[in-house]
Chains A and B, each alone.
Chain A
Amino acid sequence: MKRLLIILLGIVIFPLISIGQKFDVNNYKPIKSYGELPIDFRKKSEQKYLEDKAEISTDEKRFTRKSKEKFLLRSNFMLDDMLLSGEVLFNDPLTNYVNKVVDELLKGEENEALRDEIRVYVTKSPYVNAFSTDQGIIVINIGLIAQLENEAQLAYVISHELIHYIKKHSINLFVETEKISKGKDGYKSLSNSNLFLERNLRSREIEMEADELGLTMFYSKSNYCLEELDGVFDVLQYSYLPFDEIVFDTNFFNTKYFKLSKEYFLDEVAAIKGGDDYDESKSTHPSIEKRRVKIELLKDEMDNSGRKKFILPKKDFENARLQARFEVIRQLLISRNYPEVIYNSYVLLKKYPNNKFLKTAIASSLYGITKYKLYGGFSKVCKSYKKIEGESQQVFHLFRKIDKKELNIIALEYCWSLHQEYPNNKYLYAISDSLFKEVVYKNKLISKNFYKKSKNDIKVELKNSDEKTDSINLSKYERIKRKKKKNEIQDDNAYQFAFVGLMHDKEFKKRFIYWDEEYLKVKKEIDVDDMNYHAKKEYYRKKRKKERRIQELGYALGIDTMVLVDPIYYRIDERKKTQVRYIDSERKQAELNQIITENAKLTGVNMSLVDSKNLNSDDTDVFNDIASLNDWISECVNHEDLELVMSESQYMQPLIEKYNTKYFDWCALINVRQGKKQWQKIVMHSILIYTIPIAIYYLVKPEHYTQYFNVLFNVESGKLELYIAEEVVQNDDKAFLNSRIYDTFFQIKTKRKK
């Protein structure tokens, strides 16, 4: 019976897992991890550090030993911070694919032990990079996978990283750098600038070594094609460019009724230089050309016969790369690189013209750029087009030159049209509505400012009526109106025709009228810039009063259920060179979790703590939740004070349903021990004789300050419900923590008395 049950479960579960992992291009979902949580994600950083430390030979010089300990401490904790942030993936289709390539590369008995040591993960970083750690972890960015052309190129990158690991390059470079900066072992006579150059030289030597040995030790022994090595350096050289170089259609945003001016586009885009002006001496990596030549020489001595670009099925690579490209677009959206998102999506739309994700990404970007253009900070989301090379420069130029009003209008037109296509998508409706608000509130354009008929129709209408009506029989006022209408049509007011197609949509019209009315209702309150002196003064007085009231009385949100996401705890000693006290921080974090749980219970808040530092092997779901939430908060933090509907909010619904709340809280505590700063007090108390004991107390007592941050968001609307940022000149004792945490939960739970 039991066996039957297992077989049945097997039949049901395994297909489900494989379905979960399959990449559906038409229904793209953010990439996530699957299966059992690897030990790298579960083991405490302190434990990892102690284990690694025990392996350092006691025969080594004291300085080298101490430097290595320092490196291991930092690297273990920093690596764990990255692993647990949710940025790194495991058992997902991309990681699985990369691991298969590693298997292929390390085939054979001689590499068996090495294969067991190596763990390969993919990280959601959109930048072209890969790295390996001293602990045997190789991390490949999705940005790199998105730019590669074939499996062989990926295999070479992995070969390169394998050498970094087996040669212990990271730790050796760190020790060497320590020696250089401390002036040990013959570095004594070097000036600061020479020290810097020396350090970079060492790093470049290491990179060259990894290139050479990667080829000779692993890549050449596999069946991967040697001709593809040159392609790897092409990928590196042009890594700053989008996925592809295709001409951007200047009519892309044009509609039947509204066309963007040709002035917004360049006649010719800047040529691609590919980093010709690369100054090697200031870099940790050798120039691409140098590396290319070196590998070319080595390659010539090897036999290329029977080698392949793809050992695994080509389709697997293409699927992995496509998924990486989609994810890169999502990550670029999070980091507000809107023109890049638009161009990359445009490139992919050529192949998938009806892809919902890509079209939504363009809508999100248009919305984001509009917001930044209207509220300031545009340069944060759109680099100067002069710095851009290749076809994507058109997009950067367009958004730099386009008028705010026109941008708002094309964004609304695009988003609303997409909303019509996907009426059940709440996110598209939300951004369209937000753009409506901006059209009316910020650009002061109400529905009457837009025509319901096209320019041509109106012209024809006027012509016909002129012919039909005897102008002598017209009244003075009718004549004025007709003249006015004729002038308007001839003026440069093309944007007023942008919504001709949409004005027949009842919902669109209804929403426009709604915002018209709202605007008229609150006109006086919202236009702070237009207010007179006294009104402005009164407005700010009321605002300050409200802020003071919150400070004095606290928030009273009346929230019963919430989720606290991955609390952060850092202990810092400003007096030391290695300022972060990693081990102490990890221990304190565990204590904080306990305090949080106790106080939530005490206040009656139904709180779920999702903590990446206490995960079990079957907590992959929680890990994925943390990853999604961290993506959401990253986007939120990137936007600083700007209020807008975040693109990540479209992925929050499953979490809201799972935890039965839309309120998610992030908290952080940073305790800093600083050098003596209260000398004034010490001197004063010493002079006053009676207070000498107080002076002694201040002299002996360590000086601390503690920063406490807490933000609670409604992840559905993106509204910041609670914001606490305090700096207290006090140590982070238990009473302090209890007091702050209890108070926070209290503010969340209680309702204001009337």
Chain B
Amino acid sequence: MKKTVLVIIIVIFSASLFAQVSGYMGKRLSIEYNNMFLSALRNPTNGNYNHTDRAFNRILKFNTRNNISLDYVISRRRSIGIGADFFKTRFTLYKSFDLTYIDMFGQEKETSTSISTIPVCNISSTCFNLHYTFFNKEALAPLGRYGQIEFGLIRYVSTYDKDKVIEKLEKHYNEITEISIEDNNISLTTYMGFTLGRKRVYFNRLIVNSGIQICVIPEVFSLRNIFSNNNIINIGNINESNYLENIGKERIFNHMLINLKVGVGLLAI
């Protein structure tokens, strides 16, 4: 693997060394802000989302992701760059919780319950990526139609307002003494993406970027069949201890899977 990465790096940089790179009127470095968005086909971003919503309602609720990237043209039809994505999302708890409560007779009892309608789990995520852009035959980087491959690392924090859940559950159970859920989780995962798009230049400096992006988190494929609508719990490798990590991963996967990309940027030097 290391060798493969090394070979890729050498190939990319050797192209840069020997190429005669004109860029756009001599400008090779660009900084861009992009927004990736699409209606929330799977899972919500919106706080009022209800998993029982019909498809039409889901269309009106959008996943969005902000991205800042820095690109450098390395040959007539290639560029490399780094980028950072930021986004926040939420998900609905489908989980059945094991909890211990004091019943009306003062006895401590154990039970299992579900609070699936309360969307109280937040995910805040930051991604860092390296991307490689190849422009089509007709284009001259950084202008024209392109394909972009990106590899990245996602750091996400899933937080769960335990008190709110307890408060809600206590409407049914008198006094909850113990609940089998962790209240926050910080995890890392990797993703890869592919974008097809087009960059236009206006006023010799302003870049307008548009395209469509597909991203996948390979780890999710090992968790479950992502195209199934089954409740995630009790399936595959997800268990009590890695619940927040994995349900978060799946949510991010859905969030990033397919998006439209629109952005603006500046040609720097």
Contacts and interface: CB of A to CB of B under 8 A. Distances in A.
A468 interface: no
Given A728-B138, A735-B202, A735-B204, A552 B75 contact: yes
B197 interface: no
Contact of A553 (B18, B59, B202): B18
A726 B18 CA distance: 23
A25 B188 CA distance: 89
A135 interface: no
Contacts of B19: 552-554
A750 B21 CA distance: 9
B22 A752 contact: no
A747 interface: yes
Contacts of B201: 735, 738-739
Interface string B67-83: 00000000111000000
Contact of B76 (A728, A735, A743, A753): A743
Contacts, number: 66
A742 B39 contact: no
Interface residues of B, number: 23
Nearest to B202: A735
A742 B19 CA distance: 16
Contacts of B77: 552
B143 A742 contact: no
A341 to B, nearest CB: 43
B140 interface: yes
Contacts of B202: 735
B203 to A, nearest CB: 9
A1 B140 CA distance: 62
B193 interface: no
Give the most central of B22, B143, B204: most A CB within 10 Å. B22
A278 interface: no
A210 to B, nearest CB: 51
A559 interface: no
Interface string B3-34: 00000000000000111101011100000000
B20 A746 contact: yes
A729 interface: yes
B76 A554 contact: yes
A747 B22 contact: yes
A216 interface: no
A603 B25 CA distance: 8
Contacts of A747: 20, 22
B22 A730 contact: no
B200 interface: yes
Interface in A691-742: 726-730, 734-736, 738-740, 742
A342 B225 CA distance: 83
A739 B26 CA distance: 9
B24 A738 contact: yes
Interface string B191-209: 0000000001110100000
A743 B138 contact: no
Contact of B22 (A552, A727, A742): A742
Contact of B25 (A602, A726, A728, A729): A602
A750 B20 contact: yes
B144 interface: yes
A260 B200 CA distance: 67
A690 B39 contact: yes
Contacts of A554: 19-20, 22, 76
A736 B22 CA distance: 13
Interface in A529-581: 552-556
A739 B18 contact: no
Contacts of B76: 552-554, 743
A729 B198 CA distance: 12
A743 B77 CA distance: 12
Contacts of A649: none
A553 B20 contact: yes
Contacts of B18: 553, 752-753
B24 A739 contact: yes
Nearest to B199: A735
Contacts of A728: 138-139, 144
Interface string A586-630: 000000000000010011000000000000000000000000000
B22 A743 contact: yes
B96 to A, nearest CB: 34
A734 B24 CA distance: 12
B38 interface: yes
Interface string B135-148: 00011100110000
A730 B139 CA distance: 10
Interface in B170-228: 200-202, 204
A746 B143 CA distance: 16
Contacts of A742: 22, 24-26
Contacts of B22: 554, 742-743, 746-747
Given A552-B75, A553-B19, A735-B201, A690 B24 contact: no
A728 B77 CA distance: 14
A519 to B, nearest CB: 34
B204 A556 contact: no
Residue of A553, A599, A738 ringed by the most chain B CB atoms within 10 A:
A553
B17 A753 contact: yes
B26 A602 contact: yes
B167 to A, nearest CB: 39
Residue from B17, B26, B39, B59 having most chain A Cβ neighbours under 10 A: B26
A81 to B, nearest CB: 29
A71 B244 CA distance: 77
A553 B144 contact: no
Contacts of A690: 38-39, 59
Contact of B143 (A602, A739, A753): A739
A738 B23 CA distance: 11
A307 B204 CA distance: 71
17 contacts: A553-B76, A554-B22, A602-B26, A690-B38, A728-B138, A728-B139, A730-B144, A735-B24, A739-B140, A739-B143, A742-B24, A742-B25, A743-B22, A743-B140, A747-B22, A752-B20, A753-B18
Interface of A: 552-556, 599, 602-603, 690, 726-730, 734-736, 738-740, 742-743, 746-747, 750, 752-753
Given A552-B77, A602-B25, A726-B138, 10 more contacts: A552-B75, A552-B76, A554-B19, A690-B59, A727-B138, A729-B138, A735-B200, A735-B204, A738-B24, A753-B20
